[in-house]
Amino acid sequence: MASPLNHISAISLFVEDVAAAKAFYLDVFGVPVVYEDAVSAALKFDQLIVNLLHTRSAPEIISPGMVAQRDAGSRFQISIWVPDVDAVCAYLQQRGVTVLAGPINRPWGMRTANFVDPAGHSWEVAQQLDS
């Protein structure tokens, strides 16, 4: 039997301002909102749901764990593979997004750039380089 744990269905990102995070995701990624309430907004990326959940409500789903503060630093990065990193960086900059690093060719055969959302979550765009 194949493992029932071989795919990711949803990621919850803890944010201080759901409205600002939702506006950013709608503007930058152009993905649809599939659910929304007073403390969250769930957006659909292909087969993945990204749930923007207010930090006040996060303890409810991670207890007994604790929610880290935004200034604690990045704990993960979400990557999107694209055909042209440079074109995506130009698109991001047109939308007012600051590209923090890159585009840069990496030794593992990818060209990457990264940026953060309003809550400080790190995103990477990457393209496979020709061998």
pLDDT value, residue 17 = 96
Q: In the chain, what are the domain boundaries? A: 1-67, 76-131
pLDDT value, residue 82 = 94
pLDDT value, residue 4 = 62
At the topology level, CATH places domain 1-67 in: 2,3-Dihydroxybiphenyl 1,2-Dioxygenase; domain 1 (3.10.180)
Counting other chains too, the contacts that 104-111 makes at CB distance below 8 Å and 24 or more residues apart are: 105/129, 111/85, 111/86
Q: Which of 90, 85, 70, 79 is nearest to 129 (CA)?
A: 85
- pTM for the predicted model, two decimal places: 0.83
Same fold, 1-67 and 76-131: yes
Divide the 131 residues of the chain into consecutive groups of 10 and give the mean pLDDT of each group: 75 95 97 96 95 92 86 84 95 95 93 93 92 69
At the topology level, CATH places domain 76-131 in: 2,3-Dihydroxybiphenyl 1,2-Dioxygenase; domain 1 (3.10.180)
Q: Which of 127, 122, 124, 129 is nearest to 85 (CA)?
A: 127
pLDDT value, residue 70 = 82
pLDDT value, residue 76 = 81
